[in-house]
Structure 1
Amino acid sequence: MKTSIILSVIALAALSACQSNSTSGHSSGSSNATSKGICQQVRGDTSSGGRNVLYRCNGNAVLNSAEAQTILGRGAKISFANGGSVIKANLTTRQAANRVGNSDEATCERAFINAAKKFQETAAGLGGSRVTGFQSYLNKNVLSGGQYECEVGTFHGRVVMRGDVAR
C-alpha cells in the first residue's frame, strides 16, 4: 500500500512536470514570432493527441546564417530561383531535425539545412554544380519566394523541399 502511494505521487509529479514543459512551448496564437524572427507560427497545436505546430520560415535568412555556411560550405549553390541547365528536375526530400533541447525555430532551421545538404549531395552525385527552384513542398503545398514550411512535433521538426539539380 505504502509503495503504491509513493509510486502514485511520483507519477503525478512527473505528469505535472511534463504538462508544464509542453504548455510552455505551445502558443495558441496564429502568428507568433520565435526568438530570431526567422519563423512565424501559422497554425497552433492540433487536437490530434500529439504536438503538431506549423511554421513559415525565411529560407534566405537560414542560408545566410553562420551555421548554414559552415555545414553547406563549398557544395552546390542553393538557389530559390530557376536557372542553369537542369540535369534532374523536381527532386524531393523530406528531412527532419531533433527538437529535444532546441527551440522550434532552431529545429526548423536545422531541418532546412539538412534538406539543403541532402540536395547538395545529390547534385554532386549527378554532376551538378547548383540546386535551383528550391522550394517548400510540405504536404504537396508549394511555397516559393525563399519561404518554407516546417512542422514541429514533440520530438522533431520536418520539412519537405523540392528542387532541380543543374549545371
Structure 2
Amino acid sequence: MVTVNGNWSRAYRTFLSNIELILTAVGLLLIFLIGIIASQMRISFWIATAISATMVGIIHGILFWLLRRRQRRVRQEAIEQIREMLEDLIKNRLQTIKMSLHIVQLQQPDLEKQTQKKFDKAYEMIQEIKVVIDCISDESLVHWRHRYQQTIGRIEEEHALAPSLGTPPSQH
C-alpha cells in the first residue's frame, strides 16, 4: 500500500510540476476536437475552433491566475513561518546578548569612551538585525537573490561539478 501511495504522490507532484503544459495540451486537443465535431455537424471548422480557442484561453487565464495566486499564498506562508522561526531563535539570542551588555554596563558604570562606543555599536547592530528579520518578505528575498546572483551561480556551479570530480558536495 505504501508504494501505491508513493506512486500516486509522485504522479501528483509530476502533474503539478507540469500543469501548464498538460493544460495547454488538453486545451489544444479540445479546440481541434470541437472543430472536427463542428465540421461533422455542418458548422464551420474555423468558426468553431476560434470560439473554442477563445473559451480555452479564458479558462487557461483564470486557472493560471488561480494557480499563481495559490503559489504566492503558499510562498508567503512559508516566508512567514521562516520569519517567525528566525524571530524566535535569533531575537531571543539577541535579547540575551543585549541583557549581558546591559549587565556589564551596570556593573561597570565608568566604562571608557572607546568601550562605550563599542557597546553602542553592538546595540545598533542588534536593532538592525531585528529590523531585517521583521522585513523578510518575498520581495526582499528576490532583491537579495538578484544582489547575490553571481555568487549563487558560482556556488551552484561548483556544487554541480563536485560529484563529477569525485568529491562529495559540502554538507550544510
TM-score range normalised by the length of the shorter chain: under 0.3
Q: Which of the two has greater helix per residue?
A: 2
Q: TM-score under structure 2 normalisation?
A: 0.21
* Higher fraction of strand: 1
Question: Looking at CA atoms only, which structure, 1 or 2, has the larger radius of gyration?
Answer: 2
TM-score (norm 1): 0.21
Higher relative contact order (CA 8 A, sep 6+): 1
